Chain A
Amino acid sequence: MRARTRIARKTMVLAAVAALGSGLLAGCADDGDDGGDGSSSGEGGGGKTTITLGLFGTQGFKEAGLYAEYEKLNPKIKIAENVVERNENYYPALVNHLTTNSGLQDIQAVEVGNIAEVVNTQAAKLMDLSKVSGVQSSNWLDWKWKQATTKDGQTIGLGTDVGPMAICYRKDLFEQAGLPSDREEVGKSWAGSWEKFVEVGKTYQGKAPKGTTFLDSPGGLLNAIVSGESEKFYDASGEVIYKTNPAIKKAFDLTAQAAEDGLIGNQTQFQPAWDTTIANSKFAAMSCPPWMLGYIKGKSKPEAAGKWDVATSPKPGNWGGTFLAVPKSGKNTEEAAKLAAWLTAPEQQAKLFAKQGSFPSAPAAYSLPQVTGAKNTMTGDAPIGTIFADAAKQIPAQVIGPKDQIIQQGLTDNGVILVTQGKSAKEAWETATKTIDNNLEK
């Protein structure tokens, strides 16, 4: 009897070891298809094909009902999305997944700050979407299309939204400070130059309602200025030139000067404290792309509705925007490409704008009623669609580089913000460049 028990026990042990071992091996082999994060793709229930999207932030496809619409048009398709809130967390994971070819969704969103790096280093892993039927480069703003196109002409991402910037300002605060509040007049008062913009700020600050500043944050102003330059941190040949580019130093110094003069709140954008300054009406103007209106609305008290207006920016730039890319390793690349093309078509972009405020990157959408008739509760009857569309058309084709985000973050978080904390502009520039150089060095 004992002998048999022992053999039985041994079998058990062997089985357990085998199970553990195979579990381990399986764990190593592939984490993309059926493991971990529930990001499975392939045949869904009832013979349907499931297309998965990997997104960050609030892209709003689902919220605007676009998935439901597409599923109705294509009964064989089921769409699922997997959203990471912050791009800072989303993007490193995406790069990791691309280089290891695992864990990828059928469609992956790429932020404009990262698109240059993806174009430069990951193009081989992504489908050329310019060949997909229904996709035409002329559908997109020229600079948007170019941003996702490699030197040899592959377009690896289709643009969803863009962020043409205007200046959002508080009519009531402008009036209290004795400034004109009509959007035409306001736009004219600083047309063409950021120096004029800062001058208006000085006038405002002279008679500013107590406790308010002209602008929200130094990062916001710096971003607005550099985004309108055709060359910022890289030159056309791909060299890092941020330290020697006079436009950047000028933007930095102007921002630092405005901060020193007390025109700018000592805040960092998107921090909870900054949100509170929106709620408490602590600043009079900010550089804002269309999606910012949604953000302002989310953070404002109800009585602020209608008190904002939108004027043209001294020099329009672009802030934000996303591309949809299709990794070649996916199981349903063809269906995924079709979906990506559909989601980024002008009609869908217009719907997305109506619902979510993500501004279309397809000029054809600018004449659609969703854009021309757009209003926002924060800005009353301001024709925001036309204002932002005009800005979008004026934005220069900017040279973007792989490490733009790191450089701009350094200039902001390790740079101009220090001026609001009492450091000199020179010290701030030194801290920023030292940080950036260390971060860029391989």
Chain B
Amino acid sequence: MTTRHDTAAPPDKEGGAAPGRPPADAVPEVDKRRRARLSRRWQRDMRWSPYAFVSPFFLLFLAFGLFPLIYTGWASLHTVEMTAPTDMEWAGLRNYTRIFEDDFFWNAAKNTLTIGIISTVPQLLMAMGIAHILNYKLRGSTFYRVMMLAPYATSIAAASLVFVLLFGRDYGMINWALNAVGIDNIDWQNDKWASQFAVSSIVIWRWTGYNALIYLAAMQAIPQDLYESAALDGANRWQQFIHVTLPSLRPTILFTVVVSTIGASQLFGEPLLFDANKGTSGGSQHQFQTLGLYLYEQGWVNQHLGRASAIAWTMFLILIVVGIINYVISRRLRASS
């Protein structure tokens, strides 16, 4: 705490080199109380203000994060229909136990996993390659960087609709191009793997640039002398990439993997909009229905809020497990380096 010259008593000796401090007992009684009060207020300010400053986030989190979470948990133990959300009928763990025998849930879980893999892996590999190329001195590098981010800035709805047209079975541009090289029409909507690939391609298109920019930022933080010494040791470009760039990017790669995994597990908009029926079943045989889509179908289309809540919580638990696995792997990686 600084001395408060404006409220403290004036120096008692005039003409000194430094302003003298009054002895403590020289302060009049009134002033002392005033000081004590200010000091108390100051302390209270110090102690409580930080809480006030962070409170907006936590208030919002309480209203829009924690409360829905708990309420969803409560609803998941009931049979609730959207037509009468206040009419809850206790169902115990029925909504959870039935998930075990719910083929549609496990189908959606499998799809989420496979779509997640075929979208995330190529996406991150491509992002790495693109970042590496952009890391060289290029003419108009800003232009390329902005272009990379353009898909990210496009709305999913607009992008997905264009992809639906591109992936059309009878009149789509992709099949037209494939025909030109002698490949028969592929039914991108109804064929299981083709449809999953098509949905993944929307995700890849949208997120590759974003990840590339993150990698690029990390690459530019790698000190140049590492490359110089590697070059002196006779390492070519590829060896430099493998032995200098990749190890330095490890934390960044981990970050993008975690973020992409979370994104993949919540995949919803792309498969919803890709379905040409505009339905929520993810194709006529649920071939590209993800967990997010199944949750939406149960809650919003079929109006079973209780079941949807149980699915939401199960997804949440699965995500926690995935998070723990991520954490363990990243610790192993860190320990091994």
Interface residues of B (CB under 8 A from A): 4, 6-7, 38, 45, 49, 52-53, 55-56, 59-60, 63, 79, 81-86, 102-104, 164-165, 168-171, 187, 190, 276-279, 281, 284-286, 297-298, 300-304, 306-307
Taken together as a complex, chains A and B put the C-alpha atoms of A273 and B169 apart, in Å, by 8
Give the interface centre of A28, A100, A421 by most chain B CB atoms within 10 Å.
A421
Q: Contact check, A3 vs B6: say whether CB atoms are below 8 A apart.
A: yes
Please name 9 further chain A to chain B contacts, defined as beta carbons within 8 Å, in addition to the given A17-B52, A24-B59, A268-B277, sorted by A numbering. A13-B52, A95-B82, A99-B86, A273-B168, A409-B279, A413-B277, A413-B284, A414-B286, A421-B190
Q: A17-B56, A92-B303, A439-B302 are in contact. Are A271 and B102 (CB under 8 A)?
A: no
Task: Report if A438 contacts B (CB, 8 A).
Answer: yes
Instruction: Identify 29 residue pairs between A and B in the complex whose beta-carbon atoms are under 8 Å apart, listed by A's number.
Output: A2-B6, A6-B45, A13-B49, A17-B52, A17-B55, A20-B56, A88-B278, A88-B301, A92-B300, A92-B303, A99-B82, A100-B85, A121-B83, A268-B277, A271-B276, A272-B165, A272-B168, A273-B169, A273-B170, A277-B170, A406-B301, A413-B277, A413-B279, A431-B285, A439-B297, A439-B302, A441-B307, A442-B304, A442-B306
Residues of A close to B63: CB separation below 8 A: 24, 28
How many residue pairs link A and B with beta carbons under 8 A? The number is 97
State the Cβ distance, A359 to closest chain B Cβ, in Å: 25
Q: Tell whether, in the assembled complex, residue B281 and residue A435 are in contact, meaning their CB atoms are under 8 Å apart.
A: yes
- Chain A residues positioned under 8 Å from B298 (CB to CB): 439
CA separation between A6 and B103, bound complex, in Å?
A: 63
Whether B6 pairs with A21 at a CB distance below 8 angstroms is no
A3 to chain B, nearest CB (A): 7
Chain A residues whose C-beta falls within 8 Å of the C-beta of B81 in the assembled complex: 442
A211 to B306, CA, bound (A): 48
CA of A422 to CA of B187, assembled, Å: 13
Which of B55, B164, B286, B303 lies at the interface centre, i.e. has the most chain A CB atoms within 10 A of its CB? B303
Q: How far is the CB of B63 from chain A (nearest CB, A)?
A: 7
Q: Report the count of interface residues on A (CB-CB < 8 A).
A: 42
By a CB distance below 8 angstroms, the chain B residues around A390 are none
Known: A1-B6, A99-B82, A99-B84. A92 touches B285 (CB 8 A): no
Would you give the 0/1 interface string for A77-107, flagging 1 where the beta carbon is closer than 8 Å to chain B?
A: 0000000001010001001100110000000
Contacting residues, chain A, for B285 (C-beta < 8 A): 414, 418, 431
Residues of A bordering B, CB below 8 Å: 1-3, 6, 10, 13, 17, 20-21, 24, 28, 86, 88, 92, 95-96, 99-100, 117, 121-122, 268, 271-273, 276-277, 406, 409, 413-414, 417-418, 421, 431, 434-435, 438-442
Instruction: Chain B residues near A28: list those with CB within 8 A.
Output: 63
Of all chain A residues, which has the CB nearest B49?
A: A13
When distances are taken between beta carbons in the complex, the residues of chain B under 8 Å from A439 are 297-298, 301-302
Q: Which of A1, A276, A413 has the most CB of B within 10 A?
A: A413
CB-CB under 8 A from B297, the residues of chain A are 439
Given contacts A99-B84, A276-B170, A413-B277, contact A438 B56 (CB under 8 A): no
Q: Given the complex of chains A and B, what is the CA–CA distance between A137 and B29 in angstroms?
A: 90
Q: How far is it, in angstroms, between the C-alpha of A86 and the C-alpha of B307 when the chains are bound?
A: 25
Which residues of A lie under 8 Å from residue B53 when comparing CB positions?
13
- Complexed CA–CA distance, A2 and B45 (Å): 15
Q: List B contacts of A1 (CB < 8 A).
A: 6
Chain B nearest CB from A190 CB (Å) reads 28
Task: Report whether B6 and A272 are in contact in the complex, using a CB–CB cutoff of 8 Å.
Answer: no
CB pair B83 A414 closer than 8 Å: no
Q: How far in angstroms is the closest Cβ of chain B from A139?
A: 29
A435, B286: Cα distance in complex, Å: 9
CB B97 to nearest CB in A, in angstroms, measures 13
**Nearest CB on B from A26, distance (A):** 12
Which residues on A sit within 8 Å (CB–CB) of B277?
A: 268, 271, 413
A20 to B60, CA, bound (A): 10
Identity of the chain A residue whose Cβ is nearest the Cβ of B98 in the assembled complex: A441
CB-CB under 8 A from A3, the residues of chain B are 6-7, 38
Query: With the chains together, A435 CA to B301 CA distance in Å?
Result: 13
A218 to chain B, nearest CB (A): 11
B33 → chain A, closest Cβ, in Å? 16
Q: How far is the CA of A117 from the CA of B301 in the complex (A)?
A: 13
Shortest CB distance B284–A (Å): 5
Chain A residue, CB-CB nearest to B165: A272
Q: A409 — which chain B residues lie within 8 A by C-beta?
A: 279
Residue on B with the closest CB to A86? B278
